[in-house]
Amino acid sequence: MCGRFVSSSSPADLAAYFAAEAPADADVEPRYNVAPTNDVFVVHADGGVRCLDRFHWGLVPSWAKDPKVGNRMINARSETLAGKGAFKPAFRKRRAIVPADGFYEWKATSGSRRKQPYFIHRPDDEPFAFAGLWEVWRGPDRDGSETLRSTTIITTAANESMAAVHDRMPVILPASAWDEWLDPTNDDIETLGRLLVPAPAHLTVMHPVGLDVGNVRNQGPQLIERVDPEPGGSATTGETAGAEP
């Protein structure tokens, strides 16, 4: 599951990091509480060129009658991609990378109704490269008068570090897999499926953050600052486990 993440790097920095062409509207404020249905940055191949553009988060299949279908498709399980009608065509031809400077997950705490949010990030604070899919929806009449480009983030089983908080996590692609994943001419589903595995535990370190992140209207770098866990929670953050070699 990935339902909230951070996009604080500038479009120019993301384009340079992923060796992609920057979008025309490059003046975008950092966002520390990206939520489903927001526009998010996506790296994709366009005519042999790697591009960074903004897509709607929540994949809308081409056959959908209403774009609200995408509200239920913010994530796609890696184990069922090849068999799901909503995701199978995009898995073959329209794969993407969704950059993220970190993401949030909530952990149930004993003796409390509240779940403790955690911020998960790379130990070197470089962006994650989430594996994603994208689609183009051309309106209910299919005449192209209303066009929407949308994306979904692929999830897999949690690694050892993430398992302390949640049983799922985004698929995080290493740089060595970016070309293979983004190549629209590569439709070898079996080989592509081998990329959809949990990231090494040392790439996901985490710490507890404040409850304000639960409200999508809240923004700002204070959301990712470490706090003491809420009463009833555990002081263990997973950062020690995440630092294992």
Tokens of 108: 């149930």
How far apart are alpha carbons 1 and 72 in whole angstroms? 12
CB count in 10 Å sphere of residue 115: 16
The residues pairing with 148 across neighbouring beta strands, listed in sequence order, are 137
Which amino acid appears at position 56 of this protein?
Answer: H
CA atoms within 13 A on the CB side of 41: 35
- Of the listed 2, 29, 180, 244, which one is catalytic? 2
The residues pairing with 160 across neighbouring beta strands, listed in sequence order, are none
- Of the listed 21, 29, 79, 105, which one is catalytic? 105
C-alpha separations of 78 from 59, 155, 224 in Å: 15, 6, 28
Strands, sheet with 31-34, edge to edge from the N-terminal-most edge strand: 31-34, 5-7, 102-108, 115-121, 205-208
* Residue 138 and residue 146 in contact, taking contact as beta carbons nearer than 8 Å: yes
Is 2 a catalytic site residue? Answer: yes
* Residue 159 and residue 198 in contact, taking contact as beta carbons nearer than 8 Å: yes
CB under 8 Å, gap of 24 or more: what pairs does 135-138 form?
135/59, 135/60, 135/61, 135/62, 135/89, 135/90, 135/94, 136/62, 137/60, 137/61, 137/62, 137/64, 137/67, 138/62
What amino acid positions are annotated as catalytic residues? 2, 105
